[in-house]
Structure 1
């Protein structure tokens, strides 16, 4: 085991980067660092975050070498961990992902529905290139990937690199939910032992044990029924996220078996969600006018005054902490439990083996060792098979350059669910993504 590690953050211009940098400085006890490099193709955007990072590391971890670059040969050379969070096409394309479907009377969202498929196909070329570039420079580096839409990206990477055993796909939404449960119970969520199954942004907590082995799910259900549900960082969230968490109460009323992932609201209540979404002002506008402005303004302020002490740039540390803690579990071989994406291979009974399911797993030096789920109920199995089929066809459309499979994928998607609508929106998405998608024929 190396004494200190070299890491690269891919997507250094992301507004989530300051939180990751802060987590890296504060977790030196479990994830000791020699060098941290940020890499992005957008030099101007990354520089704002990078200058903040220089000050942060100078003040909180001066022994760590920190820099940022647009040269992938510099970024990937001799690294141990690659923390990957890219957004191909930036917020301009995200806005199209959300607004094109909405203007056609369909759900527009970053990771689900037609917009999610557009983003997923758009991400694949860059993600495949990143893996190849990393392997050319650092053959044994762990790639911790949390690029959205994680379900499609994870499935696509598994197809592109079937023998790859050093890529771990993760998402912070289960962690955000666990922290939110901790808030409403007045408990430390790091002590919870979750039992979870599903696909990314499409899953359920069946049990949530405390350190004494008591299942907290019944208590959480009762609390949400009586008091509603808020994210752990509710005071810092935009209204759309508060509305999203509030709908957990609706889902529990209709489907009380398990605690749902918040994204299930789109699949279970598409008509309701569509009626409450504005096609001219979507989540991308909220981010651009909210978190985006706040983070970049604060990073510029820190650079101007020359100190990051008392900076408010980090608002939700769950994202950064999760990434560092998962990486640390691999580095230190702690076998800590996390919710991650892995190839099914019998984990969920009677479900396709090649599906990338999201389940609890112990994580150590050899990667994730998932816990078996077994048989699931007909309702949940049916929802998951439908979603998996859409995901598989979407990725096959990418690799095979197949218009037919893209059309099949959108027709199956619960947020489209009509072949004529699917064809109309597919043609619009092809035009919007002509600089990013492969030509579909």
Structure 2
């Protein structure tokens, strides 16, 4: 893509990916290779403590660049400080505890009759407690090496992790692929290019609704629902009549709220997503080790994260090249939704440039959605309090930490009962003790 008129071309940049040994990484690398005119990379460094995975993923990454004629240099290291040194931006895609921890997050909440999921409910809180301290430590090391570097967070739960980063003064923006996935889905159904589709996407990370879908300035959402409602309902695994009554398209994650009990029954009767992903990852890593493979395999599409690379390239380019594009990101509320505190992190379209992300003005949010957004925002505030327990000079005693976890669970709309919150607190601590310094 040529440099927009009036914009100053940015020098070729260095980018570091922390969690670069992830099986997601070839999706990201493929995007960097295809979209090199949008984000001209001179160097890409993959950082991960798992040296064996880095060798496999890094080797494939180099072959992808070579096949597509990308001149950038790819390297990898387990030394975080060396990897982020001189980086213009650092992408975070971490999974503390790996798929084994995810398997636990998706299992023990079900024993209490609650959804078992890695970003929502009790499992999501467990992931936040494991992740936030590690991310903040990484961000501090990035700041010491490169005070001006941007941090792009793709690590779940994105809203809570991004809020932690921003609360500690880091130059950070959160990114999720839900919005770009809807944009691509709607464009295909409507027979138009993705760039023609503008979303009125609003809410919190993994708690969003598409209130309008504009093509050429016209809201085509009513037509989209009328003509393709069955397809969308099947994609979301929600009843078609619900979409018709709401008149909006909820994100897939609203299933856990709108159909909680049915989802619990479903999850109890099927293998966990963690087990499925772990099996896919084993196959992918074996494929990545094939020296002939020089493109992302089709199997990677079953891993999740569709269009992650396009979203990451667009966001990073806007931050570093100061072109001022509009993208759906996770950033500070700052009065955008007046019923939320300014330091809440929301997921909305925003103008993104070298100063960061500025949310665009939004229409007032209907009570049906605003109530749930306010409820989950309160939970996220308490979740962050629990994740920071024992840090920043806070009292690190176990009873206080347990109380913080209990409060967050009691506040979550998918839990909200004292017996459930008590039992889930004990289960969470038992399964995550090695990750909690105070437990």
- The one of 312, 331, 334 aligned to 1:342: 331
Which residue of structure 1 aligns with residue 278 of structure 2? Answer: 288
Change (3 A) 1:267 1:82: same
CA contact (8 A) 1:299 1:313 kept: no
CA contact (8 A) 2:63 2:295 kept: no
Shift of 1:309: 5.5
Shift of 1:397: 1.7
RMSD (CA atoms): 1.9
Give the 3-state SS of the residue equivalent to 1:194 in structure 2: strand
Q: Which moved more, 1:120-129 or 1:46-55?
A: 46-55
- The one of 218, 221, 226 aligned to 1:217: 221
Which residue of structure 2 aligns with residue 378 of structure 1? Answer: 367
- The one of 223, 242, 249 aligned to 2:240: 249
Q: Does 1:95 align with 2:103?
A: yes
Partner Cα separation in structure 1 for residue 241 and residue 404 of structure 2: 34
Which residue of structure 1 aligns with residue 397 of structure 2? Answer: none
- Give a deviation string over 1:141-185, Cα, whole Å, max 9, x none: 1111110011221222222x1x33x21111111111221112222
Q: Does 1:352 align with 2:304?
A: no
TM-score by length of 2: 0.90
Partner Cα separation in structure 1 for residue 365 and residue 296 of structure 2: 48
Partner Cα separation in structure 1 for residue 66 and residue 20 of structure 2: 18
Partner Cα separation in structure 1 for residue 121 and residue 241 of structure 2: 21
Partner Cα separation in structure 2 for residue 87 and residue 366 of structure 1: 28
Shift of 1:390: 0.8
- The one of 314, 317, 326 aligned to 1:328: 317
Partner Cα separation in structure 1 for residue 242 and residue 18 of structure 2: 36
Change (3 A) 1:226 1:431: closer
1:198-237 map, 5 Å: 198-210=203-215, 212-229=216-233
Shift of 1:248: 6.5
TM-score by length of 1: 0.90
Which residue of structure 2 aligns with residue 432 of structure 1? Answer: 431
Q: Which runs of 5+ in 1 are unaligned?
A: 231-241
Change (3 A) 1:18 1:310: closer
- The one of 269, 294, 317 aligned to 1:308: 294
Shift of 1:104: 2.6
CA contact (8 A) 2:88 2:320 kept: no
Which residue of structure 1 aligns with residue 66 of structure 2? Answer: 58
Shift of 1:261: 1.2
Shift of 1:14: 1.1
Change (3 A) 1:262 1:62: closer
Shift of 1:280: 6.8
Give the 3-state SS of the residue equivalent to 1:206 in structure 2: strand
CA contact (8 A) 1:8 1:38 kept: yes
Give the 3-state SS of the residue equivalent to 1:205 in structure 2: strand
Which residue of structure 2 aligns with residue 411 of structure 1? Answer: 410
Partner Cα separation in structure 2 for residue 390 and residue 288 of structure 1: 29
- The one of 65, 69, 74 aligned to 2:82: 74
Shift of 1:27: 1.1
CA contact (8 A) 1:349 1:374 kept: no
- The one of 181, 187, 191 aligned to 2:186: 181
Partner Cα separation in structure 1 for residue 136 and residue 295 of structure 2: 38
CA contact (8 A) 1:18 1:313 kept: no
Partner Cα separation in structure 2 for residue 44 and residue 83 of structure 1: 20
Q: Which runs of 5+ in 2 are unaligned?
A: 1-8, 391-400
Partner Cα separation in structure 2 for residue 414 and residue 55 of structure 1: 47
Change (3 A) 1:123 1:251: farther
- Give a deviation string over 1:198-226, Cα, whole Å, max 9, x none: 1100011111211x211121122113434
